[in-house]
Structure 1
Amino acid sequence: MNPAILPRALTMGLLACLAALSPARAQATLDKVSFGTNWVPEAEHGGFFQAVADGTYKRYGLDVTIVPGGPNDNNRMLLISGKLDFFMAANTLMSLDAVANKVPVVSVAAIFQKDPQVFLTHPESKITKLEELKPLTLFVSKEGITGYFQWLKSEYGFNEKNVRPYTFNPQPFIATAQSAMQGYVTSEPYAVEKAAQFKPGIILLADYGFNTYSTLIETRSELIDKKPDLVQRFVDASIIGWYNYLYGDNAPANALIKKLNPEMTDDLLAFSLAKMKEYGIVDSGDTLREGIGAMSDEREASFFDKMVRAGVVKPDIDFRKAYTLRFINKGVGLDLRPKN
């Protein structure tokens, strides 16, 4: 061999060895992260499962375990006690409640720009506006009464005299023509259509000013202080996961969801995804400029003021402690949104 070629050959060989070793090294240095959801696996969690299934979290140096929630689980308590690193909070009211009770958790991203909360109506009632629900029998859950219904009373003059308990069974609504039932736009319309063979009317509260964020990523203040880089990587990778779930090949996520939740069907997954897109649940408003997960001080203040007027939260709490904009509004993943 030409002596002049020898150093180059050794260099190339060394680079090849390093390339062969790098996946193992990367695997060995992944940071273990646990993320608790607030319900069983479903399309509404799709972006998180996508980031696991397609390797996005790993590319961000994370070994993420998703801990599903359910009717008998309290993953938020596991977050507070330090047994989970992140939690999927339902809405901003949970964050405000944490501040009121001096619980050191903070929202670091808002995956849903619109709360999926809706009222469903019978098609023959021809309801097209929120105010037209007032004379109807309204099936509302106990949590709904203490939350969004207080806003309906203060902002739109609703009255609890027409309210009946909603037990997450659509049959009373189906059997009562002059009624409306609470639900999520991503699930209950599907259940009603299957059970009653009609497409219900849909009134999305977010379109009438109920501007809470939903499906927030929440973590402990301690983790933000001690491991801000880990928090940033989890937020960024989750955002990428949501772009890929909405606009890319989401088969890996759906397969994982169905594996963990055998009762889930392809039809419901497709329905939920379609509704998230149709109503701009994830990607609308501020996210068009700032990227999925966006939040703003103005909107947080607006929702806080509405909840104060409704008597849901006390006016003396510092709502700014409920969230931080430090990890979002950076345009992460904007290039993944389809151009047309």
Structure 2
Amino acid sequence: MRHHPAFRFGQLAAAAALAFAVAAPAQAQDKFTYMTNWYAQAEHGGFYQAVAQGIYKKYGLDVTIKMGGPQVNITQMMAAGQADCIMGSSDIQMMQVREGGVPVVNVAAFFQKDPQVLIAHDDVKKFEDLKGKTILIGSQANRGYWPWLKAKFGLTDEQTRPYTFNIQPFVADKNTAQQGYLTSEPYAIQKAGVKSTVLMFSDHGFPAYATTVSCMDKTVKERSKQVAAFVKASAEGWKSYLADPAPANVLIKKDNPNMTDDQLAYSVAKLKEMGMVTGGDAATMGIGVITDARAKASYDFLVAAKLLDPAKVEIAKTYTTEFVKDAKVLP
């Protein structure tokens, strides 16, 4: 029986549509660039894992992770369109960036605690023991944790000297303490054979989140589907990384050849031990969660410390819970 050409064409079209539907996941993925705030390391592991394990692809994204570094202004680069979203060191940093005129919004926070620490020699047991010691801090500290430490523990500006991202001055002088990152400098100091005490701000009420996904208002509005996919896939990436970091670590060492297996192992162990990713609200509300109460605590700290003018920045514009609320990837 011969069919009318139109009928035959309809059959072919239906077959083509069916084939397309079956192959739909293989269609072109949306390009999405995320820029980190430092050289590749375990602290970025969940994002690299989502690339390595094809998790972003599963959610329809073709993700490029670009490394930041000490000389890279990632906020400027995002504002210039070179990244869709960036890794904020903390939510408070991004609130201040907004006050500075860049309309940036926090959409997820993958570290429920800020990993910043002060490292002292082992005669120091608590923050109060730092009175009279020399404390090496970076210039950014004055717009973040340092006003908080001064107010809480009675430390003074006279005690501070510039931190040069080198542990040798600390190693050489038992009367000094220095800033650091929970997962990094304590390891280097331990390897140098120095016994130290690590004091973590967040254990004493410092409110900040860390390792944020922060995007321009315009991106959140115009690419909300892609932002939602990125947040959910990244949360799955973090869950996977903490279970088996090997796939991401290959990519981390490719981007940052100076990274060692020992350092990666130390960092992953610390992230797990301290519940950086899976603790706090993340345990029940999902990895990457931001809550109204925590965002308010960060904002209130900045206002109280006169580090943010509330007349210039409304708290509601600094963050959104819409993406993390729907992601809900439990540890």
TM-score by length of 1: 0.88
Which residue does 1:312 correspond to in 2?
307
- Partner of 1:255, secondary structure, is helix
Q: Unmatched 5+ residue regions in structure 1?
A: 1-13
- Partner of 1:328, secondary structure, is helix
* Deviation for aligned residue 1:209: 1.2
Q: Distance in 2 between matches of 1:183 and 1:320?
A: 31
Which residue does 2:159 correspond to in 1?
162
8 Å Cα contact 1:289-1:331 kept in structure 2? no
Q: Unmatched 5+ residue regions in structure 2?
A: 1-14
* Deviation for aligned residue 1:32: 0.9
* Deviation for aligned residue 1:310: 1.8
Which residue does 2:269 correspond to in 1?
274
Identity %: 43
* Deviation for aligned residue 1:178: 2.2
* Deviation for aligned residue 1:18: 4.2
Equivalent position to 1:185, from 182, 185, 204: 182
Which residue does 1:29 correspond to in 2?
28
Q: Distance in 1 between matches of 2:235 and 2:35?
A: 16
8 Å Cα contact 1:91-1:213 kept in structure 2? yes
Which residue does 1:10 correspond to in 2?
none
1:185-264 alignment, distance < 5 Å: 185-195=182-192, 197-247=193-243, 249-264=244-259
8 Å Cα contact 2:171-2:194 kept in structure 1? no
Which residue does 1:293 correspond to in 2?
288
Structure 2 CA distance for partners of 1:65 and 1:331, relative to 1, 3 Å: closer
* Deviation for aligned residue 1:311: 2.1
8 Å Cα contact 2:121-2:197 kept in structure 1? yes
Structure 2 CA distance for partners of 1:200 and 1:22, relative to 1, 3 Å: farther
8 Å Cα contact 1:173-1:180 kept in structure 2? yes
Larger mean Cα displacement after TM superposition, 160-169 or 144-153: 144-153
Q: Does 1:151 align with 2:148?
A: yes
- Partner of 2:303, secondary structure, is helix
* Deviation for aligned residue 1:319: 2.2
8 Å Cα contact 1:98-1:322 kept in structure 2? no
8 Å Cα contact 2:112-2:280 kept in structure 1? yes
TM-score by length of 2: 0.90
8 Å Cα contact 2:171-2:189 kept in structure 1? yes
Quote the RMSD (CA, aligned, Å).
1.9
Cα deviation 1:209-237 (Å, max 9, x = unaligned): 11111110011111221221111101000
* Deviation for aligned residue 1:165: 1.4
Which residue does 1:136 correspond to in 2?
133
Equivalent position to 2:321, from 308, 318, 325: 325
Structure 2 CA distance for partners of 1:86 and 1:146, relative to 1, 3 Å: closer
8 Å Cα contact 2:92-2:298 kept in structure 1? no
Q: Distance in 2 between matches of 1:315 and 1:32?
A: 36
- Partner of 1:180, secondary structure, is strand
Cα deviation 1:132-160 (Å, max 9, x = unaligned): 22222111111113321111122332111
Cα deviation 1:6-62 (Å, max 9, x = unaligned): xxxxxxxx89x949x955x43332111111111111100000000000000000011
Q: Does 1:46 align with 2:41?
A: no
Structure 2 CA distance for partners of 1:32 and 1:65, relative to 1, 3 Å: same
Larger mean Cα displacement after TM superposition, 147-156 or 210-219: 147-156
**Matched residue count:** 315
Q: Distance in 2 between matches of 1:67 and 1:331?
A: 24
- Partner of 2:88, secondary structure, is strand
The one-letter amino acid paired with 2:180 is: G
